[in-house]
Amino acid sequence: MKTTAILTVKNEGAFLLEWLAHHRAVGVTDFVVCSNACSDGTDTMLDRLQEMGWLSHVRNDGPYGNRGIQFTALKRVESHPNVRAADWLLPLDVDEFVNVHVGNNTLADLVDALPEATAITLTWRLFGNAGETRFKDEPVTAVFRRCAPGVIHWPWRAAMFKTLYRNDGTYGKLGVHRPRAPDAARLSQARWFDGEGRELDDTFRKRRVFSDYGRPNHRLVQLNHYPLGAMESYLLKADRGRAVHSDDLLGLDYWVERNFNSDEDRSIEAVFARRAPLIAELMADARIAALHRSAVAWRRERFDILMRSDPFRALFGRLLMTPGSRPLAGNAARFLLDYARENPENRDN
């Protein structure tokens, strides 16, 4: 099963090795990684990883036009040999980690559990900040274990998904959350299933980017999503800007809709023993180890620079003053859901 993951990164060298080792451990066979005008040496690290046979590196340094960094990167790699030759495709972000709950915790086990599926939605489970202030050079999946409930009612963005889909010609273009450009002649044969194992209705074949919220979605697989990290890291994320909506500034609204810490989930640790030697293999390369240390140092230096700017210093102060987000249920959740359904502009939400 040749599975290609497509990744877009900018100044993420401190997190790259854990992400690669983890996804190799869960069964990704090929990586196509786009770098975007990096300042921390991520692009140089990717060049070295390509030399080592770990991935294919594609530079996407601009111009980006009005479609943004991520859409531009996906368009650039659609004809890449490792994309075209894949049996299954999976676009991901560096703060997303596939977490399979069946078999030996691999993507092949997931596909075996859903043999009729041509597309499988990997629904987010949001992992909050857990009160971490300082950035640590430690695996993200080991530091952040506090998360949203398994069943969440609001916001709808908490139930967004990424799509593992068969590369059979049904869709002609890569998408951030779902494949695009469906072939009308093939579309009726598409079979979409969710992470709970349910077959999904026809709306998912063309446009949906989020699972139905207010019900379980993770029995077979979930996508651990770590959108915040430590407060220091969030400042760097705000400085970098968003990959898709590059004009949207990150502030407390983004933070509050993702900082859920009510539950603990350690299920991803099932693959730690398998991925640990892969991380060690990567760090055994002297150039990779030096580039990783340099990327870590860059993050700390960049944070110090940002703290000299009043807008970023103010944002950091607000983060320190803001408690973890409270999951909504009962009357509060029903009020918001009813309002969304009654307003036509929110009918897809």
- Residues 53 and 49: their CA atoms lie apart, in Å, by 6
Question: Which has the closest alpha carbon to 135: 20, 303, 305, 250?
Answer: 303
Task: With residue 146 as reference, give the H or E element that holds it.
Answer: strand 146-147
Residue 118, token pair as written in the block: 């041509």
Residue 52, token pair as written in the block: 């080592």
For 37, what's the count of Cα atoms within 13 Å in the CB-facing half-sphere? Answer: 10
Q: What is the DSSP string of 210-238?
A: BPPSSS---SSEEEEE-SS-SHHHHHHHH
pLDDT of residue 335: 78
Please name the amino acid found at residue 106.
Answer: T
What own/partner pairs with CB < 8 Å and gap ≥ 24 does 210-215 have?
210/156, 210/157, 210/159, 210/160, 210/161, 210/349, 211/121, 211/123, 211/159, 211/160, 211/161, 212/159, 213/152, 213/153, 213/154, 213/156, 213/158, 213/159, 214/151, 214/152, 214/153, 214/333, 214/337, 215/151
Q: Which residues of the chain have pLDDT under 50?
A: 244-246, 344-349
pLDDT of residue 242: 59
* b (16+ CB within 10 A) / e for 303-340: beebeeeeebeebbeebeeeeebebbeeeebeeebeeb
- Residues 223 and 289: their CA atoms lie apart, in Å, by 28
- Residues 48 and 28: their CA atoms lie apart, in Å, by 19
Residue 77, token pair as written in the block: 């790699």
| DSSP reduced 3-state for 38 | coil
Question: Which has the closest alpha carbon to 211: 167, 147, 261, 152?
Answer: 152
According to DSSP, the β-strands at 88-92 and 56-59 are unpaired
pLDDT of residue 337: 72
- Residues 312 and 296: their CA atoms lie apart, in Å, by 20
pLDDT of residue 349: 40
